[in-house]
Amino acid sequence: MATTNGQWYPPEWPDRIRRIARGELDPVTPRRAATVLLLRAGADDGIAVHMLRRRASMAFAGGAFAYPGGSVDPRDERDVPWAGPSPEEWAARLGVEPAVAQAIVCAAVRETFEEAGVLLAGPAPATVVADTTGPEWAADRSALVSHELSFGDFLERRGLLLRSDLLGGWARWITPEFEPRRYDTWFFVAALPEGQRTCDDSTEADLAVWTAPAEAAAGYDRGELLMMPPTIATLRSLLPFGSVAGALAAAGEQDLTPVLARVELRGEEIVLSWPGHEEFTKNLPFRLPGPPHIPATPGADA
């Protein structure tokens, strides 16, 4: 895997771009996904954000730092005990149908619990679980990860309501068309609930840290921390905020227009760009050869 500074850059991109340009490859339809920038107070009354380093063995973005998150489960569209803004209200914010909005919000809360052990839910609309540690909670997390248990059934069994009001929509990024694994990902912000703490035992990560956004961004700039464009972009977007409350209050004003990479062919170069994010622009070699050589079939001339 190649990097520019700390940017995740798969070496197969140029070849896939060439194949798409020749009509040899169709872009994969992206799967809906959700991820959460989990925040807490940091040093000097600033912000700390929870980040995970994906295991190197992961097929997508192995070794890269990211936030808790993952794909929408079809069962996330089923009835879920709910408190806070309705799926209809979230649909208007996210730009999708209510059933899809519910699934995206549900995935954000579910994945945060699965990967970080933090649960944005409570027994009443104005309360939140204070402690999610212990063997019974760990067993539920494991059952959710293995798809033995749906998130709705988990909440019902524990008498809990999903607290959609604890999330704030922050950004939306779609994996480039030339990626073999594509996601249409909504990013949210949320505060670590009082009394809860993260569990650093995700099956998809080998390291979990709380870090100041500026510190993590500096590590990326030095090439020490590997990140995908959406991760470092959303990390930088936290820099203006001096408190968790300030970031959460600003969530309603964040632009959720999807960010999707553009490909432009200029002579023998591929120019990759992400609208509004000039730092990710790349110039890659592009040579359009003739028809691919097809080897003769053994015995064809016999």
**Greater confidence, 117 or 204?**
117
**Dihedral (Cα; 229, 204, 113, 153), 10-degree rounding:** 120
CA distance 36 to 190: 7
| Residue pair 179/28 in contact by the 8 Å Cβ criterion | yes
CATH code, 138: 3.90.79.10
- Phi, psi values for residue 239, rounded to 5°: -60, -35
Average pLDDT of the chain, as a whole number: 86
Q: Is residue 264 part of a domain?
A: yes
Q: pTM to 2 decimals?
A: 0.87
Confidence at 200, pLDDT banded by 50, 70, 90: confident
Tell me how long the chain is.
302
Q: For the CA atoms of the chain, what is the radius of gyration?
A: 21
Number of domains making up the chain: 1
**Dihedral (Cα; 36, 96, 179, 27), 10-degree rounding:** 170
Q: Is residue 124 part of a domain?
A: yes
Q: Is residue 49 part of a domain?
A: yes
Q: Is residue 298 part of a domain?
A: no
**Dihedral (Cα; 250, 202, 6, 20), 10-degree rounding:** -90
Parallel, antiparallel, or unpaired: how do β-strands 161-163 and 168-174 relate?
unpaired
- Amino acid sitting at position 249: A
Question: Average pLDDT in the 237-266 region?
Answer: 93
Question: Average pLDDT in the 223-234 region?
Answer: 92
Q: How far is CA 293 from CA 14, 289, 296, in A?
A: 19, 10, 9
CA distance 79 to 81: 7
- What's the gap between Cα 286 and its chain centre? 30
Q: Is residue 299 part of a domain?
A: no
Domain membership of residue 29 as a residue range: 2-285
10 Å CB burial of residue 296 (0-12, 13-18, 19+) is: exposed
Confidence at 288, pLDDT banded by 50, 70, 90: very low
CA distance 87 to 207: 34
Question: pLDDT at residue 287 above 60?
Answer: no
Q: Is residue 300 part of a domain?
A: no
pLDDT (tens digit, 9 = 90+) per residue, 9-68?
Answer: 667 777 888 788 778 888 889 999 999 999 999 877 789 999 999 765 544 556 789 999
Between 76-90, 107-121, 263-277, 280-294, the lowest mean confidence (pLDDT) is in 280-294
Question: Average pLDDT in the 187-193 region?
Answer: 98
Long-range contacts of 251-257 (CB under 8 A, 24+ apart): 251/168, 251/169, 251/170, 251/188, 251/189, 252/168, 252/169, 254/168, 254/169, 254/170, 254/171, 255/171, 256/93, 256/94, 256/95, 256/169, 256/170, 256/171, 256/172, 256/186, 257/172
pLDDT (tens digit, 9 = 90+) per residue, 147-156?
Answer: 999 999 999 9
Confidence at 232, pLDDT banded by 50, 70, 90: very high
What pLDDT was estimated at residue 266?
A: 78
Q: Is residue 29 part of a domain?
A: yes
Question: pLDDT at residue 183 above 90?
Answer: yes
Question: Average pLDDT in the 108-123 region?
Answer: 97
Q: Is residue 266 part of a domain?
A: yes
CA distance 112 to 27: 29
